[in-house]
């Protein structure tokens, strides 16, 4: 009898809690995007190589092309995307509030960001690490020589903690000089306010590219942290997260399979069964994501594969002059690895 009363009390309490607790509804971002007619993508304000307008105002860059890949998957047209510049302090709020659908902005995936911000990250799109850059005129060849140096950086990033950890391990001190905007940060460094500037190594290459004389600056050899960069979406919308993830993996798998923007039509006749599935010739994988069966073909036709995106935006023939390093396919000794398309 007492057990029956106890369970009745528990049931009553749960019912009361359910009535008082806020109702959590999962927003269907795909429906919202289709009704709007475009993907809204949060990118950097102006970061050459990753996201910056060209002479005609068209947004170019590695991060921008990740968003174009998603737009191509959804609409069959990589240009159906609106780019919203975000700064370091507002990037997460812009995504949380629904102002943007995807954050594609050189953002490091960390435990706290993944667990506490109400976001879901997609696959790693760029394996980076924090470094330091100095004027060549200083004659410095190692970050270990920067004892007591003033180092320019930005707030709201993992940079400060990484610098503190690095110099503490060296038994050295440094002066951290923080600026609110990338423009102020760059100007202070180029103006001699700091002996060094610290950020992700790819970002340092972007900063050097806009200097009056890029050859006056050198990125020191030490990589003082792991910075796996990944795009992000809001939590509680698994289909939209899957669209972002599999669109990104499509870029990687296409490079692995030798599918390019130029030969994708020819590859429709490939004897490789996985290529057939990727391009929608056989097996309707697209409808599982609520997309057209040719979603993969549309991605490659619009933006090319991962290697093409890297080389035209960041590669050795660009102003940034980056080598592929770990950002090569797994079967070429790199870390890029897409799950099977089956």
Q: What is the pLDDT of residue 294?
A: 97
| 31-35, 155-159, 220-224, 264-268: segment of lowest average pLDDT | 155-159
Q: What is the pLDDT of residue 333?
A: 95
Assign 27 a pLDDT band (cuts: 50, 70, 90).
Answer: low
Q: What is the pLDDT of residue 289?
A: 97
C-alpha–C-alpha distance, residues 85 and 98, integer Å = 14
Q: Is pLDDT above 70 for 176?
A: yes
Q: What is the pLDDT of residue 22?
A: 33
Query: 108 - beta bridge partners?
Result: 229
Exposed / middle / buried, residue 4 (Cβ in 10 Å: 0-12, 13-18, 19+) = exposed
Q: What is the pLDDT of residue 24?
A: 35
Provide mean pLDDT across the span 124-137.
97
What is the pairing mode between strands 130-135 and 217-219? antiparallel
Q: What is the pLDDT of residue 308?
A: 98
Assign 248 a pLDDT band (cuts: 50, 70, 90).
Answer: very high
Assign 160 a pLDDT band (cuts: 50, 70, 90).
Answer: confident
Q: What's the whole-model pTM score? A: 0.87
For 279-292, give the DSSP string. Answer: TTSSS--GGGGTS-
Assign 227 a pLDDT band (cuts: 50, 70, 90).
Answer: very high
List of domains in the chain: 29-127+229-332 (3.40.190.10), 130-225 (3.40.190.10)
Assign 315 a pLDDT band (cuts: 50, 70, 90).
Answer: very high
- At residue 216, φ and ψ (nearest 5 deg) are -80, -5
Please report, rounded to a whole number, the percentage of residues in the chain having pLDDT higher than 70: 92
Assign 199 a pLDDT band (cuts: 50, 70, 90).
Answer: very high
Identify the helix (H) or strand (E) that includes residue 42.
strand 39-43
CB distance 200 to 158 below 8 Å? no
Calculate the CA dihedral of residues 111, 113, 117, 120 and round it to 10 degrees. Answer: -80
């Amino acid at each position: 009898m007492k057990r029956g009363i106890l369970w009745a009390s528990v049931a009553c309490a749960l019912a009361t809690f359910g009535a008082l607790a806020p109702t959590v509804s999962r927003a269907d971002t795909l429906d919202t995007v289709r009704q709007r007619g475009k993907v809204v993508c949060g990118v950097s304000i102006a970061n050459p190589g990753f996201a910056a307008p060209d002479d005609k105002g068209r947004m170019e860059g590695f991060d921008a092309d990740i968003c174009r890949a998603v737009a191509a998957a959804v609409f069959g047209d990589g240009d159906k995307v609106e780019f919203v510049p975000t700064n370091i302090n507002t990037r997460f709020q812009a995504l949380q509030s629904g102002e943007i659908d995807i954050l594609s902005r050189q953002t490091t995936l960390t435990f706290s960001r993944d667990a506490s911000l109400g976001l879901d990250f997609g696959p790693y799109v760029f394996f980076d690490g924090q470094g330091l850059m100095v004027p060549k005129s200083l004659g410095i060849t190692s970050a270990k020589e920067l004892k007591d140096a003033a180092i320019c950086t930005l707030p709201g990033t993992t940079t400060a903690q990484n610098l503190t950890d690095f110099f503490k391990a060296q038994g050295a001190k440094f002066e951290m000089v923080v600026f609110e905007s990338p423009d102020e940060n760059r100007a202070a460094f180029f103006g001699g306010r700091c002996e060094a500037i610290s950020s992700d190594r790819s970002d340092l290459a972007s900063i050097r590219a806009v200097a009056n004389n890029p050859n006056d600056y050198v990125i020191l050899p030490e990589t003082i942290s792991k910075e796996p960069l990944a795009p992000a979406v809001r939590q509680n919308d698994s289909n939209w997260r899957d669209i972002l993830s599999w669109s990104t993996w499509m870029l990687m798998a296409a490079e692995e399979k030798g599918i390019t923007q130029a030969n994708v039509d020819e590859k429709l006749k490939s004897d490789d069964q996985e290529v057939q599935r990727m391009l929608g010739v056989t097996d309707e994988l697209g409808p599982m994501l609520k997309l057209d069966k040719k979603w993969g073909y549309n991605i490659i036709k619009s933006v090319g594969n991962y290697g093409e995106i890297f080389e035209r935006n960041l590669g050795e023939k660009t102003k940034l002059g980056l080598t592929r390093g770990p950002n090569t396919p797994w079967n070429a000794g790199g870390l890029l690895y897409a799950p099977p398309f089956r």
